[in-house]
């Protein structure tokens, strides 16, 4: 028998561990931070920034934080396992609409989660533990952490066609064919709006065809809603795809994040909602979620939920939030237009109209790895190797610099 190794023998118990690589988006951030160039641009990580390049904190959030700090009656008692009840109620209403029949009929189980990633992981844990089909179809391409989150829970990953590199738009035919041949009962992950990384969303008519196909084949839709309000500037419009599925009385899961639309990245606040056929099933589902959460992190933190709840329950604050969101989404549209115009005015080789056709925080530029490598090495522009840039991280004053650099890269590696 091997002798037990202890620290008293000098070596670490973890000596044999191989160093793990940084996830790509963090590796890009590390490289960016090390770069001393004053011109450097970070268009990798999905954070909405000000014209000065700082992470944007919404005024309404600052206001609520002051209110919370002044409220000396608030204590730090543990929240329930499923989080703050008022937060859950208001979050469900935000996603499904106040008049949603599913909410009125108490068919929705909503629990507070550790932002979008935590909501996705919790949903995946529930499905891996209790749902009879473990195959999940992801759009190709998709948010880089989706495969990690879902496979870590024990689900088996497959993909469905989504993006057409020739048109820089939706491969609707491929998508419908792949849904049509998906395994019966399989889980299908959809981006509710503002698809990351492509910025390509189906139209309402296409969503309706997708919905019919999903229901026909008995697939289970799992929506990831990370950009509600930032895509069109309207919270209801950006949840429309989800609401179409809820309207038909069928079941679905929704992971909701307040990272981007309230700028609460580091607060890690979101929710998981599971829409069920009956109130009785929703109660059982919620009880099972409690069983998963308790040995995981016991119960969620207070602060982010308190901020969101204060905004969602107050008519005036909610109005301020929607006005700020509209301004943020207008800025995204404006910067897209400026980048497109700047490339056109330079006569940069290629058709760049997809930059203005795509929506939300992500733009899939179509730049190849050589061009991206060149942009980083020669022009200090950091972005992911799939060609996605975070439009939310691009200021108007940086547009000419980026356009010059793209022009240069395309000429060098046509």
Ligand X SMILES: Cc1ncc(COP(=O)(O)O)c(C=O)c1O
Binding residues for ligand X (CB under 6 A): 46, 115-117, 143, 191, 196, 224, 226, 257, 259, 265, 270
Using the minimum distance from each CB to ligand X, give the nearer residue, 306 or 409. 306
CB 238 within 8 A of CB 227: yes
- CA dihedral for 187, 140, 166, 329, sign (positive or negative): positive
Min CB(347)–ligand X separation in Å: 33
Minimum CB separation from ligand X for residue 194, in Å? Answer: 8
In sequence order, which residues have a C-beta less than 8 Å from that of residue 38 and are 6 or more positions away? Answer: none
Which residue lies nearer to ligand X by CB, 182 or 272? 272
Nearest residue to the partner ligand X, using Cβ:
116
- For 9, phi then psi, to 5°, come to -85, 5
Cβ-proximal residues to 198 (8 Å cutoff; 6+ apart), any chain: 141, 162, 163, 358, 362, 364, 388
Q: How far is the CB of 205 from ligand X (least distance, A)?
A: 23
Q: Based on CB atoms, which residue is closest to ligand X, 362 or 376?
A: 362
If you compute the radius of gyration of the chain from its CA atoms, what whole number of angstroms results? Answer: 22
**Cβ atoms 278, 74 nearer than 8 A:** no
**If 0-12 CB within 10 Å is exposed, 13-18 middle and 19+ buried, where does residue 132 land?**
exposed
- 194 vs 374 by CB, closer to ligand X: 194
Cα–Cα distance, 135 to 379 (Å, whole number): 42
For residues 32 and 374, which CB has a smaller minimum distance to ligand X in the complex? 32
Q: Report which DSSP code applies to 137.
A: E
User: Are the C-beta atoms of residues 343 and 399 closer than 8 Å to each other?
Assistant: no
Shortest Å distance, C-beta 390 to ligand X: 9
One-character DSSP codes across 342-357 = HHHHHT-SS--THHHH
Which residue number, 198 or 309, has a Cβ lying nearer to ligand X? Answer: 198
**Shortest spacing between CB 191 and ligand X, in angstroms:** 6
Q: Give me the least distance between CB of 288 and ligand X, in Å please.
A: 22
Cβ at position 340, least distance to ligand X in Å = 23
Indicate the residue among 46 and 199 with the shorter CB distance to ligand X: 46
CB closer to ligand X, 53 vs 144: 144
C-alpha dihedral sign at 248, 224, 323, 198: negative
> Minimal distance in Å, beta carbon 192 to ligand X?
9
Q: Is the Cβ–Cβ distance between 123 and 255 less than 8 Å? A: yes
Cα 65 from Cα 366, distance rounded (Å): 41
CB 121 to ligand X: min, Å: 9
Q: Rank residues 272 and 399 by Cβ distance to ligand X and give the closer one.
A: 272
């Amino acid at each position: 028998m091997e002798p037990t190794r202890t620290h008293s023998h000098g070596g670490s118990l973890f000596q044999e561990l191989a160093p793990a690589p940084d996830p790509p988006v963090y590796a890009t951030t590390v490289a960016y931070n090390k770069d001393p160039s004053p011109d450097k641009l970070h268009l990798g990580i999905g954070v909405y920034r000000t014209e000065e390049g700082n992470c944007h904190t919404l005024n309404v959030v600052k206001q609520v934080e002051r209110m919370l700090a002044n409220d000396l009656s608030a204590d730090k008692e543990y929240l329930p396992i499923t989080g703050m009840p008022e937060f859950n109620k208001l979050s469900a209403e935000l996603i499904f609409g106040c008049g949603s029949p599913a909410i009125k009929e108490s068919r929705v189980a909503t629990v507070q989660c550790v932002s979008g990633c935590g909501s996705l992981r919790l949903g995946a844990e529930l499905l891996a533990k209790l749902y009879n089909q473990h195959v999940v179809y992801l759009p190709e391409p998709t948010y880089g952490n989706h495969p990690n989150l879902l496979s870590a829970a024990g689900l088996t990953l497959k993909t469905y066609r989504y993006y057409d590199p020739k048109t820089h738009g939706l491969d609707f035919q491929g998508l419908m064919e792949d849904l049509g041949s998906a395994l019966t009962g399989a889980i299908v992950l959809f981006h509710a709006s503002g698809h990351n990384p492509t910025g390509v969303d189906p139209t309402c008519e296409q969503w309706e065809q997708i919905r019919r196909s999903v229901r026909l084949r008995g697939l289970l839709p799992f929506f990831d809603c990370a950009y509600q309000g930032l895509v069109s500037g309207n919270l209801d419009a950006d949840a429309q795809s989800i609401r179409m599925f809820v309207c038909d009385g069928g079941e679905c899961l929704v992971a909701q994040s307040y990272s981007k639309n309230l700028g609460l990245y580091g607060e890690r606040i979101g929710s998981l909602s599971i829409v069920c056929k009956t109130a009785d099933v929703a109660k059982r589902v919620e009880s099972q979620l409690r069983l998963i959460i308790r040995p995981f992190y016991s119960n969620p933190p207070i602060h982010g939920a308190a901020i969101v709840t204060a905004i969602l329950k107050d008519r005036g604050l909610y109005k301020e939030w929607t006005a700020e969101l509209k301004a943020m989404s207008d800025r995204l549209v404006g910067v897209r237009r400026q980048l497109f115009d700047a490339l056109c005015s330079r006569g940069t080789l290629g058709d760049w109209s997809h930059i203005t056709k795509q929506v939300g925080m992500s733009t899939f530029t179509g730049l190849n790895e050589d061009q991206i490598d060149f942009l980083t090495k020669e022009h200090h522009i950091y972005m992911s190797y799939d060609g996605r840039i975070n439009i939310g991280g691009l200021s108007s004053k940086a547009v000419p610099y980026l356009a010059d650099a793209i022009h240069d890269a395309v000429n060098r590696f046509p």
